[in-house]
């Protein structure tokens, strides 16, 4: 997966393809709401597995019934790259499987 930084326009275009994600400084970010704390914790475990599969790890925060992620690519100097959008897409699939909104 390329680690070249995306342009502002490329980031904006890609964000339109991922509802709920937004640009937060030099990262893309999203917060998911789940039905229970246990559901949120289970989602974190599955997201961690995806991160390991992709060898791309985001900042991940577990709240009572929320999971928040913020993602950028350290190998690209902290810029947003296509790798971040691949992870975001995979996390959205995990979230849907856990009933997150």
- Tokens 């979230």, residue located: 95
CA distance 80 to 85: 8
Residue pLDDT, tens place only, 45-82: 999 999 999 999 999 999 999 999 999 999 999 999 99
For residue 78, give both structure tokens: 């902290």
The secondary structure of the chain, three-state, reads CCCCCCCHHHHHHHHHCCCCCEEECCEEEEEEECCCHHHHHHHHHHHHHHHHHHCCCCEEEECCCEEEEEECEHHHCCECCHHHHHHHHHHHHHHHHCCCC
pTM of the model: 0.95
pLDDT digits (tens, 9 = 90+) for 81-96: 999 999 999 999 999 9
Question: Is residue 3 predicted with pLDDT exceeding 90?
Answer: no
Domains in the chain (CATH in brackets) are: 8-97 (3.30.1360.20)
Confidence of residue 1 (pLDDT cuts 50, 70, 90): low
What's the pLDDT band for 2 if we cut at 50, 70, 90?
low
């Amino acid at each position: 997966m390329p680690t070249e930084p995306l342009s502002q326009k490329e980031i904006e275009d890609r964000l339109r393809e991922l509802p709920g994600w937004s640009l937060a400084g030099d990262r893309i970010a999203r917060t998911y709401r789940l039905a229970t704390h246990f559901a949120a914790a289970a989602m974190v475990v599955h997201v961690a597995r995806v991160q390991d599969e992709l060898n791309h790890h985001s900042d991940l925060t577990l709240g009572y019934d929320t999971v928040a992620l913020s993602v950028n690519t350290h190998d690209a100097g902290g810029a947003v790259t296509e790798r971040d959008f691949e992870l975001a897409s995979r996390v959205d699939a995990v979230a849907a499987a856990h009933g997150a909104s």
